[in-house]
Amino acid sequence: MSKAPEPLAHLLRHTTERWGRRRREYVGVFAGLPVSLLTPLWALACGTVLLAGTLHPPSRTRSRETAARWTHRLNERDLERLSRWTGITVRSEASARRRALHLLLRLPLHLVSFYAVFAWTGLAVLLTAGTLWQTVTGSRSEVHLTWPGVQILSTTTSIGAGLILGLMVLTWFTTALVAAAERGLARALLGLDTEILLHRRIDELTRTRAGAVQAVDEERRRIERDLHDGVQQQVVALAMLLGRAQRAQDPQRSRELVRQAHTESRILLDELREVAWRVYPATLDALGLEAALAEAAGRSPLPVTLRAEPSRPLPDDVATAVYFVAREALTNAAKHSGADGIILDLNATEERVELVVSDDGRGGADPEGGGLTGLARRVAAFDGVLTVDSPPGGPTTVRAVLPLGHRDPSTRTRSSTCVW
């Protein structure tokens, strides 16, 4: 008995959701009127521009680009309407021709549907007003309806109420049909609705996760090489020196070996600090991203100009990713670019953080190379984008953009410029 209200509650919730969805679609029909009114003007303007390009061949390319830009803008306005009011989000990668075809085909569909919905709504409003007027004034009249074998005695208010209900149902189904037709047309011509985007997102996350795992494995192998080829060799040398000092019979020789061991221990400490810095810099946690980048710039063999203008303290994971991308980009530039100097720009807004590392080297960097591929994997793990512009002869510009999503903003920090 206690579970009896659940089906009723589910039915009410489902009905409420459908009513809300149909109400948004109803508003969406009227919201599409501006695009329909602009479509003939768009067609006339694009036709004129394309005709001018045909008559004047040198301007043909520019005319096509202008028509494509106008088509894209008008089509995007309608896609925004579909996303807001009909529950379909389309991120189109279609060509200008398919966008133009969508605008031309949606025009008769929308005009017919707009006229139908407007007519049903207007008639329902008139009937509602008349029914209320007769009810208030008492001016309703009786109506005799006679069919073969059936005779009905009713009033104008009852007939008006029935017609109003029928028009509401008709408007309901017309709106649903129009919304389905618009969604189908957008999917057929433009593609990439929310379901396709979801599948793409799953594939992207799978790919970036595999890339992140590979980057971690490569980092572990690099640390193992650093420890084996550097620290371990220093420890072995130190142990050998101390062993020889312990076995030496000559006190002077023993003291000389101890001094050598002391020198090796200092070298070992420096090597350990270097390895620890390559693994993770303590400055990043203690003083923040800007100080860590300044330290990385100071360690670079090339002069580095650091321009940091963050508008907010970055989240720890994003700051760590930005730091390692900057450091690896600096290392790659120092090893392979042949540059005289490097410029490192950091700019963070409320929505994203952008890191640009540029040098005046010989260019020709391969975006598919091991170093840059590792950078791309780091950035992709945060849904970011890494671009490399490195024409032969230079310069080379590596740009990484990482979105910040809906993280809580903070206060603006003071910008700085450092030259090393």
Mind giving me the DSSP string for 113-125? HHHHHHHHHHHHH
Task: Report which of 323, 333, 358 is spatially closest to residue 343, judged by C-alpha positions.
Answer: 358
Backbone angles phi, psi at 397, to 5 degrees: -130, 120
As a whole number of angstroms, the distance between CA 420 and CA 417 comes to 10
pLDDT at 412: 35
What CA–CA distance (Å, rounded) separates 320 from 352? 15
DSSP classification of residue 92: -
Per-residue pLDDT at 70: 92
CATH number for the segment(s) 288-419? 3.30.565.10
What pLDDT sits at residue 420? 31
Over the chain (420 residues), the average pLDDT of each successive run of 10 is 57 74 85 90 91 86 90 87 77 77 89 88 87 82 73 76 86 86 82 59 65 61 67 74 76 78 74 64 76 82 80 76 84 80 84 85 72 73 81 84 62 34
pLDDT at 24: 85
Give 414's DSSP letter: P
Tokens 């409320």 map to which residue? 350
The structural domains of the chain, with segments of one domain joined by +, span 5-192, 196-279, 288-419
pTM reported for the whole predicted model? 0.44
The reported pLDDT for the residue numbered 199 is: 66
Please provide residue 66's backbone torsions phi and psi, each rounded to the nearest 5 degrees.
-65, -45
Which amino acid belongs to residue 172?
Answer: W
In the block, which residue shows the tokens 């945060």? 382
